[in-house]
Amino acid sequence: DRRPIIAIDGPAGAGKSTIARQVAQNLGLLYLDTGAMYRAVTWLVQQAGIALTDEPAILELVSDCEIRFDSSLGGSPSEKVYSGSAGGSGRVTYLEKGIGNPSQIFINNQNVTEAIRSLEVTSQVSAIASLGAVRQKLVEQQRLWGKQGGLVAEGRDIGTHVFPDADLKIFLTASVEERAKRRQRDYFAQSSHASQTLPSTEQLEQAIRQRDYTDSNREIAPLQKSPEAIEIITDNLSIKEVTHKIIALYESTV
């Protein structure tokens, strides 16, 4: 018997990461941030100096990269869950329970937890995420991690494509204005961005509209509300309220 899977999808800045993490912690499930995986690949492409248009080179890079989540840094307790490896190369990957510290993400053994939140990565991730071979590789890995269930997975195509049989599907959204405001607060809160010029609310709104458009109009697994998904508009709701709402839905449906 597979343990439950909760799928949380929605556009950029709707609060998915925070909410998904809290729901996972409350229900004792693993948290999977699929956006971080697309960001990590984008970072790798940029580091390698590969042009966004050079699809063959990107594919080669992605086909044997290894992504791993780990929350054991900083001494917080964590439970390792063996989950096998994509591509059968014999490498071991782990997905860990995010207790205490926010989980760290590694690509090819490099900790990119902070680097993937940069403006450069954010501005190019949607282009990389629209490539079929990139999606195929990452979705394969996500399904491996979800095989036994017991997961809150967050992204754009979780309920529609990655885990169409998820026990509960949530579509989290908010107005562009509200999402831009939240992103701005995030940037202020991140010390690593202190040296960068912070974008204005208008610039953030523009960037969010652009990313919404690219994510919703790409050919493969675009951002879409699954017909079964329950939509929650988070404009006037606190993190706690949304978390409680999802937990209540989970308890009444699963």
Q: What are the residues binding ligand C5P (CB under 6 A)?
A: 12, 34-35, 38-39, 125-126, 129, 155-158, 211, 215
Least distance CB 241 / ligand C5P (angstroms): 21
Question: Closer CB to ligand C5P, residue 77 or residue 164?
Answer: 164
Question: Closer CB to ligand C5P, residue 86 or residue 125?
Answer: 125
Neighbours of 245 (CB within 10 A): 17
Question: Closer CB to ligand C5P, residue 92 or residue 198?
Answer: 198
Least distance CB 146 / ligand C5P (angstroms): 12
Q: Tokens 């990957």 sit at which residue?
A: 93
Q: Tokens 């890995």 sit at which residue?
A: 141
Least distance CB 223 / ligand C5P (angstroms): 7
Query: Could you give the 3-state DSSP secondary structure of residue 79?
Result: coil
Answer for the pair 208, 11: CB distance below 8 angstroms, yes or no: yes
Task: Using alpha carbons, list the distances in angstroms from residue 101 to 77, 109, 113, 138, 178.
Answer: 9, 19, 12, 24, 27
Radius of gyration for the alpha carbons in the chain, expressed in angstroms and rounded: 17
Question: Closer CB to ligand C5P, residue 70 or residue 157?
Answer: 157
Write down the H helix ranges in the chain.
16-27, 34-47, 55-63, 119-129, 132-146, 176-189, 201-217, 239-253
Question: Closer CB to ligand C5P, residue 29 or residue 134?
Answer: 134
Q: Report the DSSP beta bridge partners of residue 1.
A: none
Tell me how far apart the alpha carbons of residues 10 and 172 are, in angstroms, rounded to a whole number: 5
Least distance CB 142 / ligand C5P (angstroms): 8
Least distance CB 251 / ligand C5P (angstroms): 25
Least distance CB 108 / ligand C5P (angstroms): 19
Least distance CB 28 / ligand C5P (angstroms): 23
Q: Tokens 């529609």 sit at which residue?
A: 160
Question: Closer CB to ligand C5P, residue 205 or residue 215?
Answer: 215
Nearest-CA neighbor of 234 among 11, 35, 15, 20? 15
Answer for the pair 160, 23: CB distance below 8 angstroms, yes or no: no
Question: Closer CB to ligand C5P, residue 155 or residue 199?
Answer: 155
Tell me how far apart the alpha carbons of residues 35 and 33 are, in angstroms, rounded to a whole number: 6
